[in-house]
A = this chain, B = another copy of it.
């Protein structure tokens, strides 16, 4: 199963004074890629009754990238699906390549927008994960 990729174009102000894309921008890439995927493919409505909150994230950085020489893609996969949470597996590559420049993890807990209490992973999201992302990579 080919994993979907989310393009992530870089910006002038993503480079820090070392001339590399700052480490925090990779988290913007992961946050954007997963939320966009859930909104477009799995029915998540950010103004709706259920929200995904980030409760943990991590990233290992293998090689620096720089605007404007590079643009990025986030490869979307799932590491683990729990009762109320999903942990995403998110290699980040230069556009059109397969060797990760960084590999991230991102855990969403789904909560009721009103009570802010955890709820089960919504069925449309669970289904979309199974059908489009396949089995967890772990």
Contact = CB atoms under 8 A, between A and B. Distances in A.
A27 B58 CA distance: 10
A92 to B, nearest CB: 14
A117 B59 CA distance: 21
A27 B102 CA distance: 16
Interface residues of A, number: 39
Contact of A19 (B36, B47, B57, B67): B47
A58 B61 contact: no
A24 B54 CA distance: 10
Given A17-B46, A68-B40, A57 B55 contact: no
Contacts of A13: 16, 22, 24, 28, 31-32
Interface string A1-37: 0000001110111011111101111011001100110
Nearest to A6: B9
